[in-house]
Amino acid sequence: MQLLTLDESTRIDHPTVLTMGNFDGVHLGHRILLEKLVSRANQLRARSVVVTFEPHTRQVIQNEPVARLSTLEEKQALLESYGIDYLVVIPFTTAFSSLHRDHFRENVLAKQLNVKEFIAGEGHRFGRKNDSDEKNLSFDDEKKHFSSIKIKLYGENSGTANSTEIRKYLSEGQISDAVNMLGHPYLVLANRVRGKQIGTELGYPTLNFMTPPSQKSVPPSGVYVAEVEFNSTRLKGCLYYGDCPTFGDREIHFEFFALDVIESEPEVGEMCRIWIHQFIRREIAFAGKEELTAQIEQDVKMIKNYFVKE
């Protein structure tokens, strides 16, 4: 998948089938849209294009912070699995949000991105707020720039996957509900950092990771079922997120204990993919090392059972 940042020089020479949105979390509703996109591109012998925005559109339009399910890098990692040809990032500004839909359709979509077919979910709008009338979804016009397809975005159990609901589940530690709506484990990209070797002293050596940026949505401090992926290696194990209150003087971080022997480790500073599957327990301050070690042993047993069942 080729990553492009939209500017005046951006051009795609091949005909394209395109969809557009924030795609935060790349959840089950997005999956339906993306699979249709790739299918139609193959049928038309065109290139598949996903257009997304940075920062999140609501952050600009409503001037409020948005707890992101996916950073741009995470979004890119999730989209790659669909076989998308191009990910086009539009730097979203107040000026861009004021662009008339006809200008955007003719100059950006038709001319720059060579769109022949536009695929959107029901209720999709683009252009300024005042442009969002009943005709907004009718992308076809007398100039026949491109045709359009509208599809219903249903997730599991005939429910619509919703980024807002997923954020709520995450903030409350309801990881299983979030994962069910995402259609995949929750992804966090994080750099490996040096630890203080406390896990090794306890008999549970860990890989330590820096916390993600402040705008990234993370679950409450606690213990989780997770996997760590790097260099085509995927390790199953126990993830702790917090500041280690038993010992104090620790920064908030991710700490991962692998269930199996680690044959190779990510380098310090290397970016890894952390896949969070399920919540185990909240963070606790223990009386000392012995009490903590006994609890870790129980946590690891539960996590091993989870992977056996899976």
**pLDDT tens for each residue of 25-39:** 999 989 999 999 999
The pLDDT tens digits for 26-72 are 999 899 999 999 999 999 999 999 999 999 999 999 888 889 999 99
Domain with CATH 3.40.50.620 in the chain: 2-158
pLDDT digits (tens, 9 = 90+) for 121-132: 876 666 655 455
Q: Dump pLDDT digits (tens) for 220-259.
A: 999 999 999 999 899 999 999 998 887 776 788 899 999 9
pLDDT digits (tens, 9 = 90+) for 81-116: 999 999 999 999 999 999 998 999 999 999 999 999
pLDDT for the residue numbered 150: 86
Confidence of residue 201 (pLDDT cuts 50, 70, 90): confident
pLDDT score for 261: 85
CATH, domain range 185-309: 2.40.30.30
CA 241, CA 246: separation in Å to the nearest integer? 13
pLDDT-derived band at 218 (thresholds 50, 70, 90) equals very high
- Report the distance separating Cα 304 and Cα 250, nearest Å: 27
pLDDT at 126: 61
Percent of the chain with pLDDT over 90: 70
Q: For residue range 148-162, list pLDDT tens digits in order.
A: 888 877 644 445 678
The per-residue b/e assignment along 241-280, b for 16 or more CB within 10 angstroms, e otherwise, is bbebebeeeeeebbbbbbeeeeeebbeeeeebbbbbbbbb
What integer is the mean pLDDT of 247-273? 89
Which pLDDT does position 158 carry in this prediction? 46
Average pLDDT over residues 211-215: 90
pTM (two decimals): 0.90
Distance CA 239, CA 277 (A): 10
Assigned token pair, 124: 């999709």
Q: Where in the chain is the domain with CATH 2.40.30.30?
A: 185-309
Give the CATH class of 2-158: alpha beta
What pLDDT sits at residue 144?
60
At which residue do the structure tokens 């091993």 appear? 304
> Stretch 276-285: mean pLDDT, rounded?
94
- The verdict on whether omega for the bond into residue 55 sits within 30 degrees of 0, i.e. cis, is yes
